A and B are shown apart, each in its own frame.
Chain A
């Protein structure tokens, strides 16, 4: 098993060890929970931990293959996330063709461009050509009722679920001097810090969370959770500087960017859910909700992380 002797293998091993600890804690808590409310919380916690095993296994295997596996996995996540998003948001009969294009033309091409490492077209496909094609196709359908709202909905779904998410595997195309061939490690780092931040915000929120940051959007996102989660995730992100091309200080700044943007992504997606009157985008991942509920923290973090590195590290 040469894989486990690589940097990436070490990271995966570390995460697996973390999951073992989490599973033991979850088991102990399930024995000690007294009230019904505590039992419900612990039961949800354990469902989340079980799902994490599956997600880490899938992600570990995909990243372990290097390029293609990661690209396929993120394509599938984009596809499923957009499916959840467009199911939840209202569209009209006349939007059918445009939605078909979003799923079967723009989403696949975006990921083919990641695979081809064609940065120039990757960066503009959806914001430029997608913008033109989706809106024009919907105008041709002839239905003008709520036209701006409908075009914005489809365009937004494509931007958030496909364009933004595709920047995570796009880290593989960055040629960083002295760090070539380690794109998969960088991708793992991004996902690890963002998701660890989510988990820690949840844990700190349960422990010391009182005052919600934005009560009308998400009562579960508290100041306690936000500050505790951010501090913990930045500490871990900084401690892992040695797997990245960053110095410890830069790793701290990058981790802070990932955590703040992760929080923002989660908040924005919560606002949409709240407006539509649902708690989760889907039911695919037990305890977590849908795919989009799980990756909402990557939506803003992935493109900004990608461009920070591209700007400062790629000549």
Chain B
């Protein structure tokens, strides 16, 4: 119930229209990966999904923000059933990152999809940052996953990093065609391919 209200608010504030560039089959385990500019992002993507898919889609969020405080913790874990991970940060070690990937894979189980932001943090100016390697390592564990690029337009203007109050400009959610990790694909090549697929949606 609260999730529906929040999704409605996110849609109202962002005025977002949703554009599907390719049909998606329901009931398939997939990773929606999107550019990240605002705290509204995951709610907005979640609200763009058909209700039947929402119930099985868990956002992946940094526990350093979404795990702090009663309200944030309630919204992230109870309302949206988020998978909270500790972000590696600059001093993050390899074992630390591995732990996070395992936590995500466990959280996905056999039939949950996830929403991730592979840039790892919110972009300041709307430019898309290089992808962190989490997406690659997750595909190593679960190579069968369908990877769906999502481009969020204008969210960096609606609620930029560091601002508390949103302005009512019009956002857009553009959902791309699913792609897959190809066995043995090089990490840098794969991440660049995924990023390009997301960037290509910008022109849609």
Contact surface of A with B, Cβ cutoff 8 Å: 79, 83-84, 86-87, 91, 93, 96, 99-100, 103, 282-283
Contact = CB atoms under 8 A, between A and B. Distances in A.
Interface residues of B, number: 14
Contacts of B168: 79, 83, 103
23 contacts: A83-B15, A83-B168, A83-B170, A84-B170, A86-B169, A87-B154, A87-B169, A87-B170, A91-B157, A93-B156, A93-B160, A96-B157, A96-B160, A96-B163, A96-B167, A99-B167, A99-B169, A100-B165, A100-B167, A103-B167, A103-B168, A282-B170, A283-B17
- A79, A87, A283 — most chain B CB neighbours (10 Å): A87
Nearest to B17: A283
Interface string B141-157: 00000000000001011
B95 interface: no
Contacts of B163: 96
A83 B88 CA distance: 38
Contacts of A282: 170
B125 interface: yes
Given A96-B157, A103-B168, 7 more contacts: A83-B169, A87-B157, A87-B170, A93-B156, A96-B167, A99-B169, A100-B165
Nearest to B170: A87
Contacts of A96: 157, 160, 163, 167
Q: Which 3 A-B pairs have the closest CB atoms?
A: A87-B170, A87-B169, A99-B167
A21 B165 CA distance: 48
A96 B170 CA distance: 14
A163 B14 CA distance: 24
B124 interface: yes
B154 to A, nearest CB: 7
Nearest to A101: B167
A79 B124 CA distance: 26
A311 to B, nearest CB: 36
A66 to B, nearest CB: 28
- B157, B167, B169 — most chain A CB neighbours (10 Å): B167
Contacts of A86: 167, 169
A79 B12 CA distance: 13
Contacts of A79: 168
Interface string B118-157: 0000001100000000000000000000000000001011
A103 B165 CA distance: 12
Contacts of A83: 15, 168-170
Contact of A93 (B15, B124, B165): B124
A273 to B, nearest CB: 15
A208 B26 CA distance: 52
Nearest to A283: B17
Nearest to B172: A87
Nearest to A88: B170
Nearest to B165: A100
- A84, A93, A99 — most chain B CB neighbours (10 Å): A93
Contacts of B15: 83
A47 B145 CA distance: 42
B158 to A, nearest CB: 9
A283 B156 CA distance: 21
Nearest to A82: B168
A66 B156 CA distance: 41
Nearest to B171: A87
Contacts of B156: 93
Interface string B54-78: 0000000000000000000000000
